[in-house]
Structure 1
Amino acid sequence: MKSAVIVFPGSNCDRDMASAIESVSGRAPEMVWHRDSDLPAGVDFIAIPGGFSYGDYLRSGAMAARSPIIAVVREAAERGTPVLGVCNGFQILTETGLLPGALMRNKSMHFTCRDAALRVENARSVFTHGYDEGETIHVPVAHHDGNYQTDADVLDRIEGEGQVAFRYLDDINGSARGIAGILNAKGNVLGMMPHPERAIEKAHGNMDGRRLFEGLFEKVF
Structure 2
Amino acid sequence: MTVAVVQFGGSNCDRDAVRALSHLGVDAERVWHEDGLPEDTEGIVVPGGFSYGDYLRAGAMAAHSPIMNAVRDAAADGVPVLGVCNGAQIGCEAGLTPGAFTTNASARFQCEYVHLRIENADTPWTAAYDEGEIVSVPIAHGEGRFEIANDRYDDLVADDRVLFRYCDADGNVTDDANPNGSKGNVAGILGQRETVAVLMPHPERASLPDLNRSVDGRGILQVFG
TM-score using structure 2 length: 0.93
Does structure 1 residue 34 correspond to structure 2 residue 41? no
Matching of residue 184 in structure 1 with residue 202 in structure 2: no
Q: Deviations over 1:1-47 (max 9, x none)?
A: 211000000001010001011111243x12211112x3111211100
Assess if the C-alpha contact under 8 Å between 1:120 and 1:165 holds in 2. yes
Contact 1:25 1:217 in 2 (8 A): no
Question: Does the Cα contact within 8 Å between 2:20 and 2:204 map onto a contact in 1?
Answer: yes
Tell me the distance in 2 between the aligned counterparts of 1:26 and 1:111.
Answer: 32
- Which residue is equivalent to 2:172? none
| Structure 1 gap ranges (5+) | none
TM-score by length of 1: 0.95
Q: Pick from 178, 182, 207: which aligns with 1:200?
A: 207
Please tell me the root mean square deviation across aligned C-alpha atoms, in Å: 0.9
Within-5 A mapping of 1:50-199: 50-169=48-167, 170-199=177-206
Displacement of 1:138 in angstroms is 0.4
Equivalent residue pairs, number: 215
- Report the alpha carbon displacement of residue 185 of structure 1 after superposing the two structures with TM: 2.4
Are 1:53 and 1:64, in contact at CA under 8 Å, matched by a contact in 2? Answer: yes
Q: Any conservation in 2 of the 1:30–1:40 contact (CA below 8 Å)?
A: no
- Percent sequence identity over aligned pairs: 49
Unpaired runs of at least 5, structure 2: 168-176
What is the distance in 2 between the residues matched to 1:65 and 1:172?
A: 25
Q: Post-superposition, which runs of at least 4 consecutive aligned residues in structure 1 deviate over 4 A? A: none
